[in-house]
Structure 1
Amino acid sequence: MKDTGIGIPADQLPTLFDAFTQVDGSTTRKYGGSGLGLAISKHLIKLMGGEITIRSKPGQGSLFKFFFVILKPDLSCAQRHLPITSPNQKILVVEDICSTRQMLFDTLTSFSFRPVCVESGVLALKALEETSGDDVFRIILIDSGMPEMDGIETVKQIQRLPGITKPPTILMTPIYEKEKTIMAANGLNIDDFIEKPFLNLQRTIIRPLSP
């Protein structure tokens, strides 16, 4: 990362990554900030086995470089119970926010799935009741934070539906509410939880194929 800001004197560089350290005492008043950003950045990079360095000249700006270790993807967290191992499958998406619903439709379609998107738990129940034959939903993606009937209640109502196959269910939840959502879903037959924003939707839906 490179900037053309005020720059940093050489004698200040050794303490730059210390918590609550700022080069100039007037920095907070003039530019904002608490002096924690670089300390947090260094800590996170160190946790991943990396290193952060800086070169700077007063009046010319600063150049930050950071290097990470190469990490292999952790496929163990991919869904173990979902039956989808290939695209061209029918997926029910339950999401009340129009823009998110459209994003999920476009994303799933680009993966060659066949999404059916509804905006409420009530419409999800109706879609499941109207499904017949072999072309059933293979997965349900449900937003946890919908109004009126939220994701947890929608799952409860789906599991009470008589005479239909209950597809595996993924509950979509904001990352900061994931723990709370998992606790609220205790005892329900929910197959997985996916965090918003969606980082790897396809990997969550398609389980790794056995060699």
Structure 2
Amino acid sequence: MYYVSGNIEIFVVIIFGAMFGYFLEVSGLGSPKKLNAQFTLKDWSVFKVMFTSIVVASIGLWLLSLFELVDYSTMRISTTYFWAMLIGGALLGIGLSIGGYCPGTSVVGLFSGRIDALFFMLGIVIGTVIFASSFDFLKPLYMAGEGPARQRLYELVDLPVWVVLIALVIIAVVGFRIGNKFEAKNNSVITSKDLNDDANF
């Protein structure tokens, strides 16, 4: 296994970041309509795109590790802080349902010409500043419920990696079928024309 230099690594990050943004926009996730429609169970594109990404990336990393092309020890794996993640996840969900964006899709939305995405990004900046300035006060809550360092899902459930991957695939298949039924029942899939109509400039 070899390691790329810092400059090449930055270049690769930029390229893959641009590709990620492109595919988010192509799949319609740069529009708040798609995200809001997921919360109302009318359009399941968000679930389908994101869960497909999770499954493909998980299986891909596992295969690469089997051939010793990826070393997990070099990856940054965050430690779980239960209460911080529970509260943060709830706040993110509220923001998603109200604004129709997550941090990543707001950037895509802005560069796609949506003014509301700009205000959402400003809210992210303001929230980040408030959190950073209040961190000393919030730190006890933030650090509460600390899990094992660098714990991965298969370690948490104490199962082989391949079992967890099969479970992810099953969840994806079941989720796709449920989503398709909701979309067919409501005839509510948002088309590209619907997305084009909400561009503001």
User: What TM-score do you get using the length of structure 1 for normalisation?
Assistant: 0.20
Normalized per residue, which structure has more helix? 2
Q: Which has the larger radius of gyration?
A: 1
Normalized per residue, which structure has more strand? 1
User: What TM-score do you get using the length of structure 2 for normalisation?
Assistant: 0.21
Structure with bigger RCO (C-alpha 8 Å, 6+ apart): 2
